Structure 1
Amino acid sequence: MSLEYILTSFVVILLPGTGVLYTVAVGLGKGFRPSIAAAFGCTLGIVPAALASIIGVAAVFHTSALAFQILKYLGVAYLFYMSWSILRSGNALGVSGEERERSLYRTVLDGVLLNVLNPKLSMFFLAFLPQFVSPNSENATYALLLHAFVFMGLTLLVFICYGVTASLTRDYVINRPKVMAWLKRGFAATFGALGVKLALFES
């Protein structure tokens, strides 16, 4: 595995996207442990896209307009749902102490769904992974799996850093209701904007 692949993956993962936004929002609203759960969920959500690109299923989305559109609009609906959920939450982005343990599973699930329902992710892997693995290699499938696994590991590491950083500033933010209210509106608007962007995305 080349250093070029690791550095390129690292740069791609660092770029703010849906997963980063979600992990930071959870870190600010719910604290350290939920932010780890969010990072873990977003990483798990990469698995279907990575496997799809490796076995060629992602190519179906590239050639089948119907399959692509169905998945795309499921993703759009979920992003709008996330936006609405943030706006309607009574305690800004957070939950009460007794609900926190129970909410960890939901946090993981939301992170998984955000990536699973994003067809752009499978397109990304379809275009990204083959650039670093020779198709003539005897162990091409193994190499693709290894590259995908490394990408997921880097994703988990970077997202944990994002989440922990956000959770460290939580006390500052949560003690200032006006700041928290504006953050809630900002995150809700951003999820909504991402939904619109995904709706306009063409394969």
Structure 2
Amino acid sequence: MIPLDVALAFFGAAVVLALIPGPDILFVLSQSALYGARAGVCTTLGLASGLVVHTSAVALGVAVIFQTSAVAFTLLKTAGAAYLLYLAWLSFRAGAVLAGTGKVDFLGFGALYRRGIIMNVTNPKVTLFFLAFLPQFCDPARGSVAAQVGMLGALFMLATLIVFSSVAVAGGAVAARFNRSQKAQILLHRCAGVIFVGLALLLLFSHR
């Protein structure tokens, strides 16, 4: 078991790290600005679910593969970048549909949840971050390291849910204001497309 003081210190650090502007926050903000706060929360749940994969990878030692294999790292980040470019294309296309006086159908909360999972899982840098960060709070003298990693991963997920859900609510306020105007909706979709392209490039040119 992890002592309470260690758990609290880790949780505080996780909250601070979650507050740092990064790809995941931008992703949540863009989805909630487009579709509302509940959409942002669904995306957040997807991102948090993806952290289960990264936590398991660290606990099982799979993360070492991405740390030592340039091929594995490159393949996964390329897949992630390709998915982000696909989302960018969908956003630009939605903007074009709106510009043609059409109406863009809401994707559904399930689709946004899956987007969050894929967005998170296909970023190998999250696995490497967990590999470097989580073990610092583990102690073999306290028992199974894998179990401790699992507990720390759960605390990190909780911190992510709290911070990102707050971001989703803020983004939802943007949606409530701008979605009254078709021109504003077009702008939001195009901005989301630009964000996705930027995130894809950041991931594609990232290093281990």
Normalising by structure 1, what TM-score?
0.89
SS at match of 1:188: helix
Report the counterpart of residue 113 of structure 1 in structure 2: 118
Contact residue 18 and residue 114 of structure 1 kept, 8 A = no
Report the counterpart of residue 194 of structure 1 in structure 2: 199
Number of residues of Structure 1 aligned to a counterpart in Structure 2: 198
Q: Which amino acid aligns with 1:170?
A: A
2:49 to 44, 48, 67: 44
Deviation string for 1:116-161 (max 9, x for gaps)? 1100110010011011112443232222111100111111121111
Measure, in 1, the Cα distance between the counterparts of 2:13 and 2:42. 25
Measure, in 2, the Cα distance between the counterparts of 1:10 and 1:199. 27
SS at match of 1:130: helix
Shift of 1:37: 1.1
Q: Which amino acid aligns with 2:38?
A: R
Equivalent residues in 2 for 1:6-85, closer than 5 Å: 6-85=11-90
Q: Which amino acid aligns with 1:196?
A: L
SS at match of 1:201: coil
Shift of 1:181: 3.2
Distance 1:91-1:133 versus aligned 2 partners, 3 A rule: farther
Contact residue 33 and residue 188 of structure 2 kept, 8 A = no
SS at match of 2:207: coil
Deviates most, 123-132 or 158-167: 158-167
Deviates most, 57-66 or 161-170: 161-170
Distance 1:95-1:46 versus aligned 2 partners, 3 A rule: farther
Report the counterpart of residue 134 of structure 1 in structure 2: 139
Gaps of 5+ in 2: none
Measure, in 1, the Cα distance between the counterparts of 2:157 and 2:176. 30
Gaps of 5+ in 1: none
Measure, in 1, the Cα distance between the counterparts of 2:26 and 2:150. 27
* Root-mean-square deviation over aligned CA pairs: 1.9
Contact residue 59 and residue 145 of structure 2 kept, 8 A = no
Deviation string for 1:43-101 (max 9, x for gaps)? 11111111101111000111112111111110111111111111111349x954xx56x
Distance 1:111-1:21 versus aligned 2 partners, 3 A rule: same
Contact residue 32 and residue 39 of structure 2 kept, 8 A = yes
Q: Does 1:123 align with 2:128?
A: yes
Contact residue 98 and residue 182 of structure 2 kept, 8 A = no
Q: Does 1:163 align with 2:182?
A: no
Contact residue 30 and residue 95 of structure 1 kept, 8 A = no
Measure, in 2, the Cα distance between the counterparts of 1:78 and 1:29. 19
Contact residue 41 and residue 109 of structure 1 kept, 8 A = yes
Percent identity of the aligned residues?
A: 31
SS at match of 2:142: coil
Measure, in 2, the Cα distance between the counterparts of 1:34 and 1:143. 32
